[in-house]
Amino acid sequence: MDPQNAELRDKLRKAFSEWYDFANNEKDENCIILAIRISRATVIKDHGAVRYNMDFVNKVETEEGKIK
């Protein structure tokens, strides 16, 4: 409920409007919204026929975790 987080709370409430109030009790001081930032990922398409290894930090496609 920190006033600094008002804009972020509004964005989250809009994005997750269907379940936000059910899943979060903002009045509970132990309520925490956790941001996860993905730095690397592998997207698998067509049951493994196509794989995309991505490095989001360097904004490049990688080869099994190595920068091309």
Q: Give me the pLDDT at residue 35, please.
A: 86
Q: What is the pTM of this model?
A: 0.52
- Inter-residue contact 57 to 39 (CB < 8 Å): yes
From residue 56, alpha-carbon distances to 10, 48, 61 in Å are: 27, 21, 8
Q: What are the tens digits of pLDDT across the range 41-56? A: 998 988 888 888 999 9
Q: How confident is the model at residue 19 (pLDDT cuts 50, 70, 90)?
A: very high
Domains of the chain, by residue range, sit at: 1-35, 36-68
